[in-house]
Amino acid sequence: MKKTWTYLILCLTMAFSHCSYSQDGTKKSNMEEQKNPVYSRTDTGKVNLTDTEWKKILPKNVYDIARDKGTEWAFTGKYWDSKEKGTYYCAACGNPLFVSDTKFESGCGWPSFYQPVSKTSVIYTPDNTHGMQRTEVQCGRCKAHLGHVFDDGPPPTGLRYCINSVILDFEKAQDAAKKFNEREEK
């Protein structure tokens, strides 16, 4: 019986995963599907919404991480072991956060990076919850909770940005190049 349920859930998951593809076969981001009015990969303006407004436009799992400062279970996120080349964006607002060239295997179970895209991509705040002294990493555009930064990373920075997959959108480098070339041809 347990195998039957597992098989059924697997089949349904695969069937519904194809719903996120557009007519031309390219995968849309979570926020493009949700019609999030503040989501933009080019706008650099700060986003200041109330939690009530965020709750209306973010999927529950993104809201839980971004606004309630939750965390996903280790080794369960979609990007923790990804090796694809491209750019990682904030799933709440579209702000560019990290490029895959700065991603490394830390063994912690979350996507780990040693450097953000720019100095303004992320902001840092003290986090003294759970009896620990840590540094929280937030999106530099919308202040969404991304994860934490630790000083046990590789050179050249020595930092490990431990980020939740749920709060990340990803665009493959080849997809970005294709979009750019199509715009140039018009």
Residues acting as catalytic residues = 162
For 55, the 3-state DSSP assignment is helix
What type of residue sits at position 106? S
Q: How far apart are CA 98 and CA 75, in angstroms?
A: 19
Q: How far apart are CA 65 and CA 13, in angstroms?
A: 22
Q: How far apart are CA 119 and CA 125, in angstroms?
A: 14
Cβ atoms of 31 and 39 closer than 8 Å: yes
Query: Residue 6 phi/psi, 5° resolution?
Result: -60, -45
For 110, the 3-state DSSP assignment is coil
User: In DSSP terms, which residues pair with 163 in a beta bridge?
Assistant: 147
Q: How far apart are CA 113 and CA 100, in angstroms?
A: 8
